[in-house]
Structure 1
C-alpha cells in the first residue's frame, strides 16, 4: 500500500512536491501502529502528505503548513490560500488522528477579521472538523497569497516521536471554493504533517539535525546566535527548544538574553535537563514601564552615557548598567542614526571582564546592532554604576546635526538563574563637534516660474536643515507639504495661487514655528498656441466679419494680429478668442499670417496660421479644342483646350465628369482623356469649370468620336460542310475572324439574313428548298 501511495497514475498530468523524506514514511507507519490507525488510512495519508496532486498550472491553492512540536505542547498550522482575486467562500473539512492531536482550535487571522467562520464539530470524535469561511457580500480576496487561518492542536503526551497527518476531507463539510458569482472554482488542496518531536530544552545543535539529545557549549553558542538574530530558526520544535526561559514555563514565546543564559545553565549542568515544551512560535511581548516598577527595580537602569564625538573621526560611547548586585547578563538592540554615525565595533565594558559577548552588526547600515553580554557563571555585576560595553562609531563627514540620539529596543537583563529583571532602558545623546549652523534656510525652488492658470502643481523646495513636519507657505498661507529629507520638501500649490501674473513669496515654517528666508516664485503668462481659425479665407471687396481663433493659453489682454495689423480682440476663454476683420482688410488679395500675442510677464507671440484673401475667379471660356475628333477605340490621348479665364484650379470636364487637368497658362489647359471615353462612336461635351469664389462653367465644345473602318473578314470553317440533298432546313454556322455587327453572309451571290454572334462567329438559316437537289453552294462574308 505504501509503495502504491507514492506512485502517480500515468494518465494524469500531475506535479509532485516532495514535502517529507523517507524517515517520515517510517514515522507515519509507526504512528499507525501506536494509535491503531487502519492500514488503508496510512497509505492514503502518505499519498496526500507526500505529494500535492493538483493539475499542473493550478494557481488557486489551499495549503496547510507542516510543523513540529513536543508532546504535550501546542502545535500551530497556518492555513494559506493562493487567490486569483475573485474568491468569496472557502469550505472544507480536516481529518486528523483524534487520539493524538487533541483540542483542535481554529481562529481567523487579522486579514480575514471581517469574514464569518462557521465550525462544524459534529464528527470531532472521529477526528473530523468542518470549517466554512464566508466573506461579506460583495467582498473578495485580493490576488495573491493570504494567511487566512491558524489551526492549533495539543499533541498527546504519550505521542512520542511520530508524524501525525492533517489532511483535507469532505466530512462533515464538503470541500469547495466559490467566487463572487457563486460559481465553484477549481482549487488545489495541500495537506500537512504535525511531527511530534520529544526533546530537551536548549538542545538545538548541531543544525539542521535539530539537536542530538545532549546539552553542551555548542547548544549554548547556537542559542546565543538565535537570540542575537545572527541565525534564523524554524517555528515548531526548534523554536520550543531555543525558547527555554523562563525554565518553569518552558519558554515564553520570546527569544532574548534570558534564553542564552538558561541554555548556558543547561550546558554547564547547573540545571537538570527539561523536556521541550512551551510556545512553538513567537508571541507578543509585554514591556514593563518605569511607572509600574518597584522602587528597587526602577533603580536598575541600562543607559547610554552622553558623549562628544568629532566629525570625520572615530569615537567611543559607553553603555552603563546601574546594578542592584544580582545582574548576570544584559541584551538589547542599540539604535542610532546611520546618516550621522557609522558603526565600527562593540566590545565588553571595563566592568564585564571575562564576559561572553555576541554582537550582530548585520543591520548596522540601517542603524541597528544587537548586543548580548553574559558573565561567567558564578559572577554577578557588583551594585552601582557598571560599564557593560563600549561602542565605537565614526562620525560621518556628511553629518548635518549637532547631536544625535542612541536608543534601546528589545532590552532585557537577567540574573544567573535566567530570570528576567525589570529594567529601565534610557537613551542618550551624543554631541557632534565642531558645531554647524542648523538654522533652516531655503536655497532654491523647482520650478522657479509657473504659468497663469497652471492648476495644482507640485513645487519642490530645496534648502538645508529642514525638519520633518515643516510646512511650505505661499504668501503666508500654508500648503500641503511632504517631507523628503533635511534638504528637500514638496508642496502642492492650489489653482488660486496662479490665477494672475505676479510673484509669490515662498517660505517654510518649522515645527517649532521658525519661519525661513523667502524665495520668489514667478507667475507668468504662458506662450499662446493657435490650432485653427474660422473662416480661413475670404474674397476681396467682401464684407467684414468676426474670425474665431481656437487654440490654448489665451489670457486676458491677448491681441490678435492679421498680417501686420493688430485687430480688435475679445478673449472668450483660454482656448478661444474672436477677432474683428473690417471691410478694409479685404481690399487686397493675398495671404496674411494670423498670430496671437500674450502680454508680459512671460507671454509672447504664438505660431502663425495663414488667412487667404482671394479675388473672384473669372468665368472660363473655350475658344477651341485639339484634336476635335478621334476614331473610336484608338486609346487614351491628351486634349488641349484653348480659351481664356483659366486658373490653377480649372478643371476640364468630359460629358460633365472631371478629368485630370494640367494648367498651362491663363489661356491653355490640357486634359487626360481615357480609352474608355472614346470606345464608342458618338459625340462628347467638353467644358471647363472654375470653382468659387466667382468662377463657373464654360460653354461646351463638341468632340466627335468616329466609327472605325470595318476589317476584311476571314472565313475559315463552315458547320456543317456537307448535307444530304432533300433533307430539312438547318442553321449554318460560319467561323473565322474580323466579323462585325453588320457583317453579311452571301450564298451564291445573294445576301442572307445574318446573325452576329461574335467577331469569330456568324449564323444564317438554310431552307429545305435550297437543299432539295444536290450540288455545291458558295458561301462568303461581306463587311
Structure 2
C-alpha cells in the first residue's frame, strides 16, 4: 500500500488487512500485520488505510492468495503392558483429492501439506510385518488442518483384535448359550458378521448383548438357511481386554447320536467388518468354535475322539498319556470330561491326575458300574502349589544328590506312606541350564506302571499307578529315580528341584480313586567341579539259605542321619546311586519275615556285591 501525503507530516493511524472472512489490524508504524486465514480456498487480500489529519485514506490493489490445509499424525508400535513406541520408516499413503506418499520420521510423525481445502482424503500406513489400527482414516470436505491422524502398529502374525466363538458343551435337548468374545482395543464402535451352523441339531432362539456390552444395539438376520447375520453397535467404548460382546442362544434337538456342530464365521447374510467411532475400518480376525455334545461313558477315551463304546485296558493307556500331557484332550469333543472321572461322586474335578487312573481301573474291573459322562468339560486352572511339608505322616520327597564334574546324577523320589497308596502323579520343576536330559525309571521292587514326559525343558511329569499298594504302612519306599546330565565347573549352590501342579497335579490316590492328604517335599542337586565322581552301592538281599528276597526294604543312612530307602527286585537286588565320594554309610534291611544285622560300610568309592544276609 502506498500512502499519499497532502503535504508535510508523517502518516499515523492503523492499517487493516482482510481476506474477506478474517482480518488483522496494526499501526502504520508497525509495518506488518499477521493475517491467519480460518478457511481454505482462494482468498482476495485487501489492505485499507483510514487516513489521519495529514494523510488521506486509501486502499491497496487486491491480491489473490490460495489457502491450503494439511494432514499430520503419528504412528506408534503397540507394546503389551507398556508404553507404545514411535515407528520410523513407515510408508504412509494419501489418496482421494490428492495422491501422495511420505515416510514417518524418527518420532513416528508424518505430514501431508499443501492440500486443497474442501477435498476428501484417505490416509493409510504400511510396513512389512505389521498391521495397523485403524487400517485407514477417511476425511471428507476437509476445511481445517487435521492434526491427529494417528495409527498403532501391531505384529501382523499376532493380529490386532480377534472375535471368537467360545465353544460350549451340552446335553442334547437342552438350550445352549454361545458367548462371542472380542479381544478389544477400546476403540471399537460397531461390528457386522455372520455365523454358520447346522440346522440338524440347532435352531436360533435369540441374540443378545454380551455381559461386557450392556445397552448395545443388535440387529440379527436368521432368514438364510443355516446362516445367522449379526450387527452390533456398542453403547459405550469397550474396555480393552477379553470382552463378551454378543450371546447367541440355540435350542438343540434331543438326538443323542447327532455329531458336534461347528460355528463358523462368514460373510452371508452380513459381511464381516468392524468400525471405530469415526467410521474407520478396523483389522479383525475371526476364530470359529463349536457346540460339543456330551457323549460316551466316563473313562471311555480310546479310539479317539468319541471313545469306542467300551471300557477296556486301552482306555487306561490313553488316560495315562493325558495325565502326563503326552496327549492333549481334543477341545472339539468331550474327551477331557470323560478322562476326568475322579472323584466319582462329582464325575471329575477339572484335573487329570493319578486319581483318574484309579477310577478308570475301577470302571474296567467292574468295581464301579459304568456311568454317562459328567463333570467339568475343560481343565480348571490350578493356582495352588502342592501342599508342602508333612500331612498326616504321608509325604512324597525329592532326595538330595551330589554331582561331581560333568556327568550323570540320579535323584530318588520316595514316598513315606500309610499303606493305602496305589497311585501318584506329580510335576518336577528345575533349572534346565544346569540339569538336562532327564530320564525317569522305576525303582527296584516297585510293581507299577510308569508313564512320564521329559520333553519340556525344566519340567518332568510323572505318573505311577499300581493294582496293589505302593508302600507299606508307616514306611518309606523309593518310587522312581530321575537321572540328569549335569555340567561341571566350580562348586555352586544346590540346584533346586521342586514339585509343581502344572501341567500334572501332584496328587496321591487310594484304591477308590480318592485324593489322599500328602505333603510334597522339595529337594536339590549339589553341583561340584572337583573332578571326583559320585558313587553307587549295590548288592543282594538274601534269605539264610541264599535265595534272593524280593520286596524287602533296604535303608541307607549317611553320617548326618539322612536316610534313603529302596525296595529289592525279584531276585533281591538293590542299588543306591548318587552318593558322595568318601561318605560313611550304614545299611539296614526291613522285612516282615526275616531279621538282619545293620551293616556299616567303610569309606570308599563304588561298592558292589554288598550282600545282606538274613540271620538264621
| Higher-RCO chain (CA-CA 8 Å, sequence separation at least 6) | 2
Which entry has the higher C-alpha Rg, 1 or 2? 1
Higher helix proportion: 1
